[in-house]
Amino acid sequence: MARSGSRSRKRQSDQVLANLIHICAALGKELSVATRRHAVVSVKSPGGDEMLVTEAGCDLLEVDDKRGWARVCLSSAARGAMASRDGGAQVSAEWPAHALLGRCVAQICPPAVGGYVCSKGGEAALSKIFSGEKRPRAWVPYADPGEQLARRIERVIAQHQAAHEWKPTAFFVAKRGLLVSADTPRRLLSSVRRLISECEAGLPKPGGAPLSLSPEAVAGAKLAVRRAVFRSLGEHVLVEHSVSPAVAWYLRRRDAKELVRPAAVNEIELVYAGGGPTWLEQAAGKSVEAKLSRAKNRGERAGSLLVKGLGLFIAGQGSDLGAAREATETSLLTRAYAAGLGGVNPLTQRQRSVLASARPDTRAELAGRIAVVTGAGSGLGRSIATGLAKAGAAVALLDLDLPSARKSEELIRQRVPDAAASAIRCDVTDEREVERACDSVLDAWGGLDILVNAAGIAPSYPLVDLSPDKWRAALEVNLTGYFLMAQAAARIMIRQGIGGSIINLSSKSGLEASRDNTAYNATKAGEIHMARGWAVELGDHGIRVNSVAPGNVFEGSKIWNPEYIRSCAKKYGIKPEEVIPYYIDKTALKRDIKGTDVADAVVFLCSERARSITGQTLVVDSGQVMVR
């Protein structure tokens, strides 16, 4: 009987995967490159306890039995928890919304749909289109990706059930796209095609004569664009030209220049083209470089350039050009359609920031990760938070000193213009404050992937002079604080179910005791051993836990304050100004350790390059202490 049940479950699982592949293939053949990479498809098992969902950013035509999807285990108690990531796929952030809906779900945003959801009058227009249906389609106000969208859809479903005693099966989500669910692949595809057709029926048809261009003019424009990108951005790029029917039709509009003034109108344009297209009267001169520089300062890549009379030019890396071109062509149609539906309703600056952090440049090592760093208002905490932001992560900067945390946020935004960063006041020794801080991160970004425990104090006294109050304070901040933060983060990561990384910032003193540092020695050693225990506990959930043990990092440190330096000078019988050179001379490399050195180690341990490393201690001390 057991074998029979196992075979039955295997057949069901195979059929669920076959259904997913079938839907992806059908939609992939009908959608352009950018929109099929942006689309999300999911299929649940007959019992509803499992869901297969496409990988974030995966081309639907590349989904097969081995790649492009992840398996999510759903429970009645929670919206869902990731049990495994088959083929190493990174599950789409939209899976919580899919978990609420029917067996087969598709989330797409072709131009016709974009025209409605990205316009000021789209909701009213859709109400008229579907007014004759017994079950009109639901409109969903804008919501950020992931948990935020799921919560918004939950409310819309509840409202419709209260008013009509039924659940909608199609949702037009403002600035996001269309969500459709059905009980079979055939019905899903039929519904999607009908909804798109009905949207297209109310919109103008692109057409007209093609643009007449000279090859010399196009070639000259490509050279000019490439030169402008290099001079303004310092990047070597390839340049692709498009004068497709959609581009030609758009350029003939009298309002073509005005319609591209607003910032990005949807996520597709932001992610795959770096933002809205840049209008150029001609592809030559310093004005091109100036526009590219201004776009860079806004945090946009300005990879798409619309040149009057010449067409669309896409500047970028080879593998990105096709998606950027089709995203921009989709954007042009979306903007043109929206113009006839009350005008374009672009993404706000906050929405652009959130969406950019949710789906940033895929070349960034930690793209899409959400990180929390404690003690981020100064010293190593600030350096680590900056390093994570540079690697593409969205970073919450926790510190008891909120003005210092805000200063760190400001510095990060200066160095990483499109970074998603948020300063939060938090006393890591207070359980309620820790919970509130983590809730803020969830509300802002919908998850948590990385925790770096970096808040700490170092009361330096000889054993006979160390007061119980100083001892207890060190225990509270350096051990209880690490414990409370790790506990809260682990709970979120387990519920989220897609793994994670916890880093305890220890010290070389946790490996080799230093003089007159009883509390610091004990707590830093304790942090390492706590991390080892957590690594054993959390490994089943794909959560890796490691420690970084820095040597003496002097720049920007609150620990290395004048009082602490004087105590070190007294301890070694030297002058205060000799303390830092003394410590540097104790290292094998005779090299001053910088915050960036520690940040690089943390980024590595949080990345996929360290996917098989857990329960370990990485020492960054220029060779002062050797791990035994």
CB neighbourhood size of 443 (10 A):
12
> Which residue from 287, 283, 267 is spatially nearest to 275, judged by alpha carbons?
267
- Which pair of structure tokens corresponds to residue 391? 């690697």
Amino acid at residue number 268: I
DSSP H stretches of helix in 298-430: 318-339, 349-358, 379-390, 402-415
Structure token digits, residue 44:
């649940």
| Stated length of the chain | 628
Query: Rounded to whole angstroms, how far apart are CA atoms 277 and 93?
Result: 26
9 three-class SS: helix
Query: How far is the C-alpha of 574 from the C-alpha of 554, rounded, in Å?
Result: 18
What is the strand order of the sheet 278-280 is part of? Answer: 238-242, 311-316, 304-307, 278-280
Cβ atoms of residues 340 and 204 within 8 Å: yes
Percent composition of the chain: helix, strand, coil (DSSP 3-state, to 5): 50, 15, 35
Residues 272, 482, 520, 583: which is the catalytic one?
Answer: 520
Q: Are 104 and 43 in contact (CB under 8 A)?
A: yes
**SS3 label, residue 542:** coil
State the angle between helix axes of 379-390 and 595-606 in degrees (0 to 180), rounded to the nearest 10. 50
116 a catalytic residue: no
Catalytic residues: 520
